[in-house]
Chains A and B, each alone.
Chain A
Amino acid sequence: MGRLNSALASALLIAAMCVSSIARADEKPPVAGGDPVNGKRIFVVYGCYACHGTTGAGGGIAGPKIAPGPLPLEATRAKLRSSAGRMPAYSAALLKDSEIADIVAYLQGIPSGKATKEIPLLNR
């Protein structure tokens, strides 16, 4: 799991693209049990963003919204370990419990965005 290569470098570039919005998450206090900074790194490097968006906003049929307001840690772990649909399943050998905790910490730290009523374009 720890292999770093050109794909990782590529993913880190994408991570750099996401920096302004994700940075907001870093301003939140870390969630107990998980490292949100590492969670953000995993979220991008492992490609979670491809279907769920860089801040978990979701990608339609490719992947549901998972943040803000993610599932609790246990529910997230259960989903990741036993997914049977489009979502790939991740064994403990592929994704450690600690890494899942980090991802959840990152997702929990993503703040709620603007409310619909605050966005004129969505109130036409």
Chain B
Amino acid sequence: MARSSKPMRARRSALNRRGFLKAATLAGTGAIVPVVARADAPAAAPAQERHVVELASRETEQGVPPLSGPPQSNCGSDFMVDVMRSLGIEQVAAIPGNTFKGLHESIINYGMTTPPALNLITCMHEEISVAIAHGYAKIEGKPMACMMHSTVGLQHGSMALYNAWADRVPVFAIVGAQLDADKRRSMVDWMHSVFDGPALVRDFIKWDDSPVSLTQFAESATRAYKFSMTPPYGPIVLAVDQELQEGGMEGGVSPAIPKMPKTSVARGDEGAVNETARLLVGAQSPLIVADRAARTAAGLALLVELAEALQAPVVDVYGRMNFPWRHPLNQTRRQRALTSEADVILGLELTDFWGLTSAGLAKGAKRISISSGDLYMKSNYQDFERFTPVDIAIAADAEATLPSLIDAVRRLTTPRRRAAFASRGAQLAMDHEASLTQSRAAAAVGWDDQPITTARLCAELYEQIRNEDWALCNGTVFQNFWPQQLWTATHHYQYMGDSGAYGLGYLPGASVGAAIAHQKHGRLPVAIGGDGDLMFCPGALWTAAHHNIPLLYVVHNNRAYHQEIMFVQMMANQRQRGIDRAQIGNTLTNPSIDFAKLAASLGVYSEGPIADPKDLGPALQRAVAVVKRGAPALVDVVSQGR
């Protein structure tokens, strides 16, 4: 309760203007009521208020009943705002929808005007709203809220929820609902009503509820937040009835907001952890493989500690920023060889253990998994990947388990083993340098090619940002992991993995969301994204421009869905039909998309198309300067497929 007291006090001071507005609306059926500005109101307030009154009047003339409801100080959606604030939510992303108009109004006229202020991010598609929340959470370490219209809004946002689910990212999603059929005012209201809205996405969210009272809303929101932030993290959905938002509080009294419990993250069982340590210390060729292991910066530091204690190689699957890219024990480029030689493989939050080891294991090799994925899983969507018969499966959060594992490793390490570790570490350091040399040599191939190679693109970009506090907001599989090969990254926030479910349309929104989280730290966020991906949700660029969110978006414009060309070729060959038509449906030419013009039309500074590699560095330099001034910029680079 204590947490709700401050916002409620703040609300009382802010509600007078709204109370006046309501009175004006009720009085002005068909008439424009003069508005008297409060002395402490912003200068623009009278015009805004007049607009609201005019709109209400037009609706009345068209037969829509005048707005009615409880006194403003008692409205349920203001209480919902207080609940969100009590959870520490600071940002809400949404495209408007009338099933959450009560909450929308509360956010803009109450949540945004009283401390601690919420910020409403205007979006152009629900998929963008969810993706923004997705990217934000991966950097900020806590959920952003997003609101979606009932039925059609959630349907639009469902793909992005699946990405967040597969990526184990918390998203606090609110979807409007209109359960009382008697309150539906048009055929559209019926189209946009559903009895159990969250059922659509229940297979790939962590939890949902449809509260029927404000007391239940407070409890459900707190429970939902707790679930979403307990590893494995995941998105939640609350379906919130319109009447609950727009109605009042019973007796005019704000219900209690439950206290958020301090949650203890599941750590590995002591016996299993000790056995894991024993195997790792005794191994001749141990291998640590990290996927979404480092939930936080502490996780990265712990993984470094474990690797250095063992002088063991680390292969990073790049689900998160798990391990410094230039650390001598980072042996990611040698994944295949190390996996086949290892006698003990430790997978940390490894989604696809089977894929890692399917090419073959050394005889007698042991596999150990530490994963919160074993704690919570669903059955319909198959993102749990193929079953892998590991020797020890520790159902626990990897990051939370690392301290006890490190302690056990140190306890079991004898001076003799320590000497062996040192020898191994020295060899691995040389191997890392050799890999770096190989990567640089490979990057030089085709250096002056047109279309521009992805290696050149990434090297040119790094040249412009390497002395800044940069953060890369995209997964890099489609750029051949060149950033990991050529750049130096040490901080957890400098890389945040990919979409999770490889659903197209993720990056535009997710990079904007990440950039929002980076903004207060003054970092320089950059994203390299495909042309096909960007065309799913280009409206995210407008959101970045509208809210002055600094972000450098580099379009890896290969003018095709290149991955798919190969698959169609394969089909055509199997059927002996020839491959000269394989590009139909896959290439994005005739006309080629002008992303610079597209971005400019959305209010974003842009350069391109850049076809000559000599032009790339200067274009990026100009764009970086724009981003450093606090605005988004886009550079369209005509690139090789990969």
Contacts and interface: CB of A to CB of B under 8 A. Distances in A.
Interface of A: 1-11, 13-14, 17-21, 45-47, 49-51, 53-63, 65, 68, 86-91, 93-94, 113-116, 118-119, 121-124
A104 B642 CA distance: 21
Given A45-B580, A57-B449, 15 more contacts: A7-B583, A11-B587, A17-B638, A21-B450, A47-B582, A50-B565, A51-B641, A57-B445, A57-B640, A87-B566, A88-B579, A89-B573, A91-B573, A93-B576, A113-B445
Given A14-B587, A21-B449, A114-B448, A51 B562 contact: yes
B569 interface: yes
Interface string B601-642: 000000000010000000000000000000000000010111
A15 B448 CA distance: 16
B16 to A, nearest CB: 60
A65 to B, nearest CB: 6
B560 interface: yes
B381 interface: no
Contacts of B440: 116, 122-123
Query: Mostly helix, strand, loop or mixed at chain A's interface?
Result: loop
B448 A10 contact: no
B47 interface: no
B580 A7 contact: yes
A17 B611 contact: yes
Contacts of B486: 122
B61 interface: no
A118 B444 CA distance: 9
Contact of B641 (A53, A93, A122): A53
Contacts of B477: 60-61
A91 B573 CA distance: 8
Contacts of B566: 47, 50-51, 62-63, 86-88
19 contacts: A13-B589, A21-B449, A47-B566, A47-B583, A50-B560, A51-B562, A51-B565, A51-B566, A54-B451, A57-B445, A57-B446, A57-B455, A58-B480, A63-B642, A91-B573, A94-B573, A113-B446, A116-B443, A122-B440
Contact of B587 (A10, A55, A65, A113): A10
Nearest to B570: A88
Interface residues of B, number: 51
Contacts of A51: 562, 565-566, 641-642
Contacts of B641: 49-51, 53, 59, 62
A1 to B, nearest CB: 5
B105 interface: no
Contacts of A88: 566, 569-570, 572-573, 579
A114 B451 CA distance: 17
B580 A124 contact: no
A10 B481 CA distance: 29
Interface in B450-506: 450-451, 453-455, 459-460, 462-463, 466, 477, 480-481, 486
